[in-house]
Amino acid sequence: MKIGIVCYPTFGGSGVVATELGIALAKEGHQVHFITYSQPTRLDFFNENLFYHEVDMMAYPLFQYAPYETALASKMVDVVKYEKLDILHVHYAIPHASAAFIAKQILKQQNIEIPVITTLHGTDITLVGRDPSFEPVVTFSINQSDGITAVSEDLKNDTHKHFDINKEIRVIPNFIDLERFKKLEKAHFKTAICPNGEKLVVHTSNFRKVKRVEDVVYVFQKLRKEIPVKLLLVGDGPERTKIEGICRECAYCDDIRFLGKLEAVEEVLSVADLFVMPSEKESFGLAALEAMACEVPVVSSNAGGLPELNIHGFSGYLSNVGDVESMTKFALEILDDKNLPTFKKNALSRAKEFELSKILPEYVRYYKDVLEQTSSTVSA
Ligand code: GMT
């Protein structure tokens, strides 16, 4: 198949899923064309089946806000037409689904039919998309997609709850490449961070409000009163300065380190004993899955799709959003030497259920279903 993938090229979860999906499809022999505004972070190597098309943005003094959606739709038209794509798969509804709708209509006038699949990732539904400034366009463009997928049952239910969607949504969860995300031998790294054999707690995110990173620090403070433990905070984003302020006020500030954005996050996860994800909303929790693949158990909130990933009492524990007391209690239980090896083993076994080789065929099957469905509608 010739597949066009539209996504955000940054560190965000939707961009990571889209890029990894495209790479995996290319390795299977499909031709994959990425269409976005800059080279996706993980697309930094050559593969004969991978192509990258940059959206041209024209600067013009009249534009207070550059019309990216228009430029993206124009680029989609160009790539579909000249590369003869079979299908367009857009990740994150805003503004990708509406740009795809415009492109589809333009191509239709030229007698080119291009089926569009929209994958809903999370905040496009639970946060941003529900805002009245976006909602009508989001509802319309999701309904106009030929196929819709969501990354968890919870996100599918939320979509039906908050938007008037008249089409079936297929749930295809996030996946993990266990060749890349696995526990690596990094003993020297662990010794450097935890010289006295302390336990290591890790959190990775884009430091947005919805991640509640302050709860990670509060849990850590409580833990540190009980046991020798260190905290690594990986990633960057709008809340980082506030979180640094909270850490500076904390008596255990010297036991906390901010690492910023890291490409090789699996190296840090390889030496971690516990991953904390206290998010207010989390449609799936890809960062937690990455941790589990590296044998790191997870204490998370029970928001969104997290209970579909983290199994309470097996791969970790779930607490109510904001309940740092309960999170601390569960963290202490996991970090207890007599429990830790079992939780680590269980975390990996749960991660294996989301292995790339299991989820990739679900996408390919869905592409075929949508192609079949649309070709029969066109010929009818
Ligand atoms: O908030 C993020 O982590 C970024 C966001 C995105 O769309 O880029 O991630 C969402 O999509 C990921 C991949 O499907 C999911 O694993 C994350 O749970 C989801 N984030 C939220 O729902 C907050």
- Output the DSSP codes for 105-121: HHHHHTT----EEEEE-
Q: What is the mean pLDDT of the chain?
A: 95
pLDDT confidence of residue 376: 78
Task: Count the residues in the chain.
Answer: 380
Determine the distance separating the centroid of ligand 1 and the alpha carbon of 18, expressed in angstroms. 12
- Residue 187: partners with Cβ closer than 8 Å, 6 or more residues away: 271
Over residues 61-81, mean pLDDT: 95
In angstroms, the CA 358 to CA 210 distance is 30
- Does ligand 1 come within 6 angstroms of the Cβ of 122? yes
Instruction: Indicate whether 173 pLDDT > 90.
Output: yes
Determine the distance separating the centroid of ligand 1 and the alpha carbon of 9, expressed in angstroms. 13
Over residues 197-221, mean pLDDT: 97
Instruction: Indicate whether 58 pLDDT > 80.
Output: yes
pLDDT confidence of residue 10: 80
* pLDDT above 90 as % of the chain: 90
- Does ligand 1 come within 6 angstroms of the Cβ of 285? yes
Instruction: Indicate whether 62 pLDDT > 70.
Output: yes
Instruction: Indicate whether 380 pLDDT > 70.
Output: no
Instruction: Indicate whether 11 pLDDT > 90.
Output: no
**Helix H segments across 131-239?**
135-144, 153-162, 187-193, 213-226
pLDDT confidence of residue 378: 64
Better-predicted residue by pLDDT, 282 or 45: 282
Q: Which atom of ligand 1 is nearest to the CA of 119?
A: 14
Cβ neighbourhood burial of 364 (10 Å; 0-12, 13-18, 19+): middle
Buried b (16+ CB within 10 A) or exposed e, 15-35: bbbbbbbbbbbbeeebbbbbb
Determine the distance separating the centroid of ligand 1 and the alpha carbon of 220, expressed in angstroms. 24
- Secondary structure (3-state) at 234: strand
Q: Assign residue 318 a region: left if phi > 0, alpha if psi is -120 to 50, beta otherwise?
A: beta
Instruction: Indicate whether 280 pLDDT > 70.
Output: yes
Determine the distance separating the centroid of ligand 1 and the alpha carbon of 126, expressed in angstroms. 10
pLDDT per position as a tens digit, 299-317: 999 999 999 999 999 999 9
Q: Which atom of ligand 1 is nearest to the CA of 289?
A: 16
pLDDT per position as a tens digit, 85-113: 999 999 999 999 999 999 999 999 999 99
The residue whose two tokens read 């009508």 is 136
pLDDT confidence of residue 379: 60
Instruction: Indicate whether 68 pLDDT > 80.
Output: yes
Determine the distance separating the centroid of ligand 1 and the alpha carbon of 282, expressed in angstroms. 7
Instruction: Indicate whether 294 pLDDT > 90.
Output: yes
pLDDT band at residue 263 under the 50/70/90 scheme: confident
pLDDT confidence of residue 186: 87
Better-predicted residue by pLDDT, 53 or 127: 53
Q: What is the pTM of this model?
A: 0.95
- Structural domains in the chain plus CATH codes: 2-175+356-379 (3.40.50.2000), 187-354 (3.40.50.2000)
- Does ligand 1 come within 6 angstroms of the Cβ of 13? yes
Over residues 209-228, mean pLDDT: 97
Residue 166 has, within 13 A of its CA and on its CB side, a CA count of 4
Host H or E run for residue 71? helix 68-83
Best residue for ligand 1 mutational test, from 121, 289, 310 (most atoms within 8 Å of Cβ): 121
CA-nearest of 268, 93, 149 to 101 is 93
Instruction: Indicate whether 332 pLDDT > 90.
Output: yes
pLDDT confidence of residue 44: 79
pLDDT band at residue 346 under the 50/70/90 scheme: very high
pLDDT confidence of residue 12: 81
pLDDT per position as a tens digit, 112-158: 999 999 999 998 998 888 899 999 999 999 999 999 999 999 999 99
pLDDT confidence of residue 377: 73
pLDDT confidence of residue 111: 97
* pLDDT above 70 as % of the chain: 99
The residue whose two tokens read 């899923």 is 17
- Secondary structure (3-state) at 31: strand
CA-nearest of 67, 53, 125 to 93 is 125
Instruction: Indicate whether 293 pLDDT > 70.
Output: yes
- Does ligand 1 come within 6 angstroms of the Cβ of 360? no
Amino acid at 207: F
Over residues 189-217, mean pLDDT: 96
Angle of helix 213-226 relative to helix 240-249, nearest 10 degrees, comes to: 20
Best residue for ligand 1 mutational test, from 6, 7, 8, 14 (most atoms within 8 Å of Cβ): 14
